[in-house]
Chains A and B, each alone.
Chain A
Amino acid sequence: MSVISDQKSEVRSQKPEARSQKPEARSQKPEARSQKPEARRQKPRNTNPVPLLSVQNLRTSFHTRNGIVRAVDGVSFDIEKGQTLGIVGESGSGKSVTCYSLLGLIPQPPGKIEEGKALFDGRDLLAMSEKELRTVRGKRVSMIFQDPMTSLNPFMRIQDQITEPLIIHDGIDKETATKRAIQALEEVGVPDAPRRIRQYPHEFSGGMRQRVMIAMALITNPELLIADEPTTALDVTVQAQVLELIKEMQRKHGTAVILISHDLGVVAGFVDKVNVMYAGRVVESGPTREVYYHSKHPYNEALQRSIPALQTKGQELYTIPGAPPDLARLGAGCAFAPRCAYVQDACRSGELALKGVAENHESACRRVQDKEIQLSVNSNQ
């Protein structure tokens, strides 16, 4: 792999080949990744590149009348430039709050970022002032949200909304910005863009609206795109299209993507790496194929088992017994203990941390770490 010289924001457009994200992410071997040196400005050859984003021990909680809800309880992960990371978990697992915390989008009276660092290009997002954060939001890190119906301003024309990041961050005049906006719309596949750009959100269908959001998020060529459940509110057929679009954009612009979802299927076909979250913590992390076929955490194993489409017809559907924990009352030890098929007394106390249990594959399960148990290999295919 050759070193590619770097020029600020043209990095992306110059590295389509080197970054070859094979469409079938599943077949990508874990080793392949570490052999792609990410060239940065003054570091010529590098086998241990500085990640684009490095989250370290993030803790976010909400101080409510019913107690302190520990929504994110010690989350750490890295994402490299141009890499795609999937964060999966049920509602309340903290996956969205993690990413919102990074951009300071948590309402800070009830919410509070208790601890943690989020190093983005060397600077800690969590330590930035609101003013500094605003230079990052929408410019270097963009976000798209779950419900395109409510995420676009119903009172503003699409044109005004898409051009806004350009106007805010790059100080571009309205005319030029509009031209670029039209281009962006065409890129995401909105037909008749010059006319439709003058329309209002309610004149677009759900899938189209999400395309608009994608265009809006990528128009400043951000280095990282966070997609929070981008397909959940859409029809199934449209879901596939939108995912394809994100994939395509990601390939084209070399944007790193964090894809948040509760839907394992959505994440599987798209990302290089997966973090499985439960009760505000990352319980398993690894390359997509490994995480899906060789679960290293009981929760993940249970998840894989409960995918309806992969179960035998006529049999009762498998559900994980119990219910998600009350995040205001997390005890010591493993949060999944009450529902775990492999639980032991020792699981209920002590600190748990992610540890590598296989090549590039980490798990927070004590028993797996100690090699006490071997979880089943999933043959769902």
Chain B
Amino acid sequence: MFRFIAIRIAQAIPVLLIISVVTFAMIKSVPGGPFDKEKKVPEEVERALNEYYHLDEPFVNQYFIWLGNVMKGDLGPSTKYPNRSVNEIIGAAFPISLQLGVMGIGIALTLGLLAGVVASMRPNTAQDYIPMSFAMIGICVPRFVIGPLFMLMFAIQWEWFNASGWFFWSDRVLPALTLGIFYAAYVARLTRGGMMEVLGQDYIRTARAKGAGEARVILRHALRGGIRPVVSYFGPAMANLLAGSFIVEKIFAIPGLGTFFITSISNRDQTMILGTVLFYSVLIITLNLIADIVLIWLNPKLRFDEQ
């Protein structure tokens, strides 16, 4: 197992390097520095700023200076807001996105697994059709349609929640739902499929022949194998969950990392862009790794493969 993790980490490092280089190149290749959009600043000030950010040096130098700092854990000051460091901004914004993401995952898993298991118990009956129809809707109606609709219904018409912001606990509900519903729907379908396949296996018949009741059969025997498609889906899905939060954050005006990322792009906030891209990349790679580990752990056969 450790070998596996070590290899993955070793693979990740060149990838991250390449990502940072490419991003850096992209940023630098576009004409227009971060200060062009501002009102014209006096020359000395501009020169000072350029020096502070090493913008006057050749690109390659700039990159390595940046890289050097990153090794020390410092992502640099924000080009747009010199008195705030990128670390700081990410540190403030990410937990919010994280909360949103985690709640979305929670909704996705609870609703999805529940719906899928229930549907798989009595296939081709109402118990199956109803949850699966909802699941279809969840998949086909995009987040950016569901979000505003929820907002319209629950926040504006019925005023159960605030339409935006991230202050009260109730503010979390609509965004998390909007984020989670698509994944809940997908998970529901995958679970149903996985469970149905497992429930048709011989060992389920053996379990029943031993006198196990439905609850036992499903929870102790079927579930472990049945959720495998969910797990293999969920790793990469988590990456999308994070990116999808861009949309949800925009709709509900949530001050998360996604919002800052988008604005940093429009602002040409170079260090912010680089820092965020790096941060997201590390995050996604880590999440994928965790998902793979869970997959292996769930399948005893694979666990021994490494030997």
Interface positions of A (Cβ within 8 A of B): 103, 105, 134-139, 142-143, 145, 147, 150-156, 164-165, 168-169, 200, 202, 213, 216
B205 x A151 contact (CB < 8 A) = yes
Give the docked Cα–Cα distance between A143 and B299 (Å). 27
Which of B157-211 touch A at CB < 8 Å?
A: 201-203, 205-211
A260 to chain B, nearest CB (A): 14
Instruction: Give the nearest-CB partner of B205 in chain A.
Output: A105
Across the two chains, which residue of chain A brings its CB closest to B204? A153
8 closest cross-chain pairs (CB), A and B: A138-B211, A138-B210, A150-B202, A137-B211, A153-B203, A155-B224, A143-B209, A200-B300
Residues of A within 8 A of B210 (CB): 137-138, 142, 164-165, 168, 216
Interface: B225 (CB within 8 A): yes
Q: Tell me the dominant secondary structure on chain A's binding face.
A: mixed
Taken together as a complex, chains A and B put the C-alpha atoms of A147 and B205 apart, in Å, by 12
CA A126 to CA B209, docked complex, whole Å: 15
B84 in the interface (beta carbon within 8 A)? no
Least Cβ–Cβ distance between A190 and chain B, in angstroms: 18
Identify B298's interface contact among A147, A155, A165, CB under 8 A: A155
Could you write out 8 A-B pairs with CB less than 8 Å apart? Answer: A105-B209, A138-B210, A138-B212, A139-B211, A150-B201, A151-B206, A202-B300, A216-B210
Chain B residue nearest to A149 (CB atoms) is: B202
Q: Is the interface of B mostly helix, strand, loop or mixed?
A: helix
Bound Cα distance A151, B203 (Å): 4
Do A152 and B300 contact each other (CB < 8 Å), given the known contacts A134-B211, A136-B211, A165-B211? no
Chain B positions 205 through 239: 1 when the CB is less than 8 Å from some CB of chain A, otherwise 0: 11111111100100011001100000000000000
One of B205, B221, B298, B300 near A145 (C-beta < 8 A): B205
Nearest CB in chain B: distance from A158 CB, A: 11
B3 contacts across to A, CB distance below 8 A:
none
Known contacts A200-B300, A202-B300, A202-B301; is-contact A153 B209 (Cβ 8 Å): no
Of B203, B209, B212, which one neighbours A150 at CB under 8 angstroms? B203
The residue on A at minimum CB distance from B125 is A109
A153 to B203, CA, bound (A): 5
Q: A168–B211 Cα gap in the complex (Å)?
A: 7
Query: Which B residues are in CB contact (< 8 Å) with A213?
Result: 206
Residue numbers in B under 8 Å from A151 (CB-CB): 202-203, 205-206
Query: How many whole Å from A86's CB to the nearest CB in chain B?
Result: 20
Task: Please determine whether B202 and A164 come into contact, CB atoms closer than 8 angstroms.
Answer: no
Cβ-defined contact, A154 with B203, below 8 A: yes
Cβ of A269 to closest chain B Cβ, rounded Å: 26
Q: For the complex, give the distance between the alpha carbons of A207 and B208 in Å.
A: 22
Contact of A168 among B212, B221, B225 (CB under 8 A): B212
